[in-house]
Amino acid sequence: MRRKLAAGNWKMNGLAASLAEVEALAKAHPAPRSEVLLCPPATLLAQMAWKAKGGPVMVGGQDCHPEASGAHTGDIAAAMLKDAGASHVILGHSERRADHGETDALVRAKAEAAHAAGLVAVICLGETEAQRDAGTTLDVIGAQLRGSVPDGATAANTVIAYEPVWAIGTGRTPTLAQIAEVHDFLRAELAKRLADAAGVRLLYGGSVKPSNAADIFATSNVDGALVGGASLKAADFGAILAALDSA
Ligand code: PGA
């Protein structure tokens, strides 16, 4: 019932020459069963959307401002992402929470702005290693979910990505039981608030690669992945997409 989603986050990587990866991905996977999303840096968004037009790859932003327009030098409004060809925007990534002090309340305001502009918000949550070691993972995730997800969230306009901070870019991943515990918890918590919680896609993110993708995709309530490093090369991301398609 939930269409799976393979989402790539290029972070602060990629120049115009990198757009060849999008063409390579679309050529190798012209009609995937799963949805495919790539979120390049803002400088490449319009060009990527143009190259991806008519193919399977959707394009998204990595952040947006909570306001619709105004005097905010260097920021990008949700409607601008949409205008440039985006269908989605990643919000509340742990790197933005850490580098820019983004709070749950700010992430929620950004998600409301994304929804108002007609974008799907990919809202990220995750515990630090210290929080996991302290046994507070579900408390942390529950608080982030309550604080970051707006009341207007639906299965159509919101995707949740569970990304343990200590697993991002480190090559380390939680056990499948740990992933299942958090994803089952997320599903149950969403059901307390959203009428169509059963339809909300829950992505796992943090060191997903071709060699661990199939196991992760076979895990309870995992509907896809948010992939950083392994989304930069079409061969790697394509292999993850293939694993998702056959999950
Ligand atoms: P990674 O990043 O796949 O490079 O660990 C994931 C993310 O931050 O979305």
Instruction: Name the domain count of the chain.
Output: 1
Say which CATH number the domain at 37 has. Answer: 3.20.20.70
**Rounded to an integer, what distance in angstroms lies between the CA atom of residue 53 and that of residue 60?**
13
> pLDDT per residue over 172-187, tens digit each?
999 999 999 999 999 9
The helix or strand, by DSSP H or E, that contains position 234, with its residue range, turns out to be helix 234-245
The helix or strand, by DSSP H or E, that contains position 28, with its residue range, turns out to be helix 20-28
| Type of residue numbered 17 | A
pLDDT of residue 59: 98
The helix or strand, by DSSP H or E, that contains position 114, with its residue range, turns out to be helix 104-116
Domain that holds residue 218: 5-246
**Rounded to an integer, what distance in angstroms lies between the CA atom of residue 87 and that of residue 19?**
18
Cβ neighbours for 33, distance < 8 A, ≥ 6 positions apart = 4, 245
Active-site residue, 112 included: no
| Type of residue numbered 139 | D
Residue nearest ligand 1's atom 7 by CA: 228
**Rounded to an integer, what distance in angstroms lies between the CA atom of residue 204 and that of residue 143?**
18
> pLDDT per residue over 86-137, tens digit each?
999 999 999 999 999 999 999 999 999 999 999 999 999 999 999 999 999 9
The helix or strand, by DSSP H or E, that contains position 188, with its residue range, turns out to be helix 176-193
> pLDDT per residue over 220-243, tens digit each?
999 999 999 999 999 999 999 999
> pLDDT per residue over 116-127, tens digit each?
999 999 999 999
| Section 65-88 average pLDDT | 98
Residue to probe by mutation, ligand 1, list 39, 62, 209, 227, most atoms within 8 Å of CB: 227
Question: Using a 6 Å cutoff on CB, does residue 232 contact ligand 1?
Answer: no
Q: How is residue 119 annotated by DSSP?
A: P
**Rounded to an integer, what distance in angstroms lies between the CA atom of residue 63 and that of residue 66?**
10
Q: Is the pLDDT assigned to residue 1 strictly greater than 90?
A: no
| Type of residue numbered 94 | S
Q: Are strands 57-61 and 35-39 parallel, antiparallel or unpaired?
A: parallel
Active-site residue, 163 included: yes
**Rounded to an integer, what distance in angstroms lies between the CA atom of residue 135 and that of residue 23?**
44
Residue % of the chain over a pLDDT of 70: 100
Q: Write down the catalytic residue from 93, 95, 127, 189.
A: 93
